Amino acid sequence: MFDYDEKIDKKIEQLKDDMIVYAKKLVSFPSVSGNELGAQTYVKEVLSSLDFNHIDMWEPDIDKLKNHEAFNSGRTNFKNSPNVVGTKKGIGGGRSLILNSHIDIVPEGNLNEWNYDPFGGDIANGNIYGRGTSDMKGVNASIFIVLKAFQEIGLKLKGDIIFESVIEEETGGAGSLACVLRGYKADAAIIPEPSNFAICPAQQGGVWYRITIKGKAAHGGKRYLGESAIEKIPQFIKKIRELETYINDEYYSDLYEGNPIPFCINIGKVNAGNWPSAVPDSAIIEGRIGVPPNSTLKEIRKLFEESIEKVSEEDSWLKHSKPDIEWFGVSWPSAQIEVNHPIVELTRKCYKTILNKEPLISGTPWGADAAVLTKYSGTPTLIFGPGATAHDADEHIPIDSLLIFSKILACIILDWCGFIN
């Protein structure tokens, strides 16, 4: 591994104000799903200024996506929601690297809970505030100044850099899937989601479920003539907790060491009954299942269905009036690359070079787009980025952490892609 050049470190520090300008501009766009065009147009302008050889901006074709097993989206088209991919061709002889970042954000929520303008990019307490600063527009600004530093110093990379600014990550990953189906791939990829600088070769997946429990209606004054769907709920909760324990034992991973429940089965919503004086004939439980990196969506769905079937077998009413199970909404596949994969080892070394300490190597407790790239484009993908807060009121990211990420990323790119000066 090369010695990190002090000249690059100094240049990145000099570009701090440029980074803040990039971040504030990106945050100014309320790029929720369906409203990404303005932000993506700006990304295209920036990539053009950074001398990317080819910039590809297109609205994904839902007809080409909807039959793919990894497709997740409630939308019927992607009008005004383009992906942007810039390719900066190397001079040859180096490895290629994808930098994948999503431009879509979650809604700002209740404005009364914000002390700062969600789209103002306010600077206070050493932080940049606003929706998407941590997840993940701030890190885009970090990437831009790395590439600008190379440009100003006159470094020429040997391998290709592919920057993907994708839509729909927050709602299922259709943007990254569209990149895969368009043919984008590389020797490795980094997705700088807010991992708080943990290096994550493993990504947990997730899937939503719905259980509809059937009872028998009756007047509340003669409840003994009915069968309360509400009173069946504890049996399902008990079985769900048993399954959660089984999954965490069966799919144990050292990458989740210290996490009390790495793969949670959440019970997020319960609806039941419609009248105080009536025995409820229906109850609905909805939630999310964490999918371990060393498993598949199919495996976990099957285990869940078998567990719910056991509840029916153990209850005289449910045995003849079985609940319905639906898989609805979004689902994210899981994925893992080798802990000693070259991109993981290099990221660890560069982290230590810049910060003079060992990083945390772990798996994510949430889904992201890494599985789409790893599984469907054959691009080994790592999650590694600054930031920790996301989706909260007063979302923010420390400016210093963005600069640190820029320095680590510069170190990674120069070694991975190779360069001449």
Can you say whether residue 191 is alpha, beta or left, with left for phi > 0 and alpha for psi between -120 and 50 degrees?
beta
Q: Is 17 helix (H, G, I), strand (E, B) or coil?
A: helix
Distance CA 9, CA 365 (A): 32
Q: CA torsion angle for 401, 402, 405, 410 (degrees, to 10)?
A: -140
Distance CA 391, CA 351 (A): 26
Catalytic residue set? 104, 169
Which pair of tokens denotes residue 84? 């942007």
Distance CA 80, CA 97 (A): 28
CA geometry: angle 166, 108, 21, nearest 5 deg: 60
Distance CA 39, CA 29 (A): 6
Closest to 353 in 3D by CA, of 412, 417, 421 = 412
Q: Please list, in sequence order, all residues whose beta carbon lies within 8 angstroms of the beta carbon of residue 275, skipping any fewer than 6 positions away.
A: none
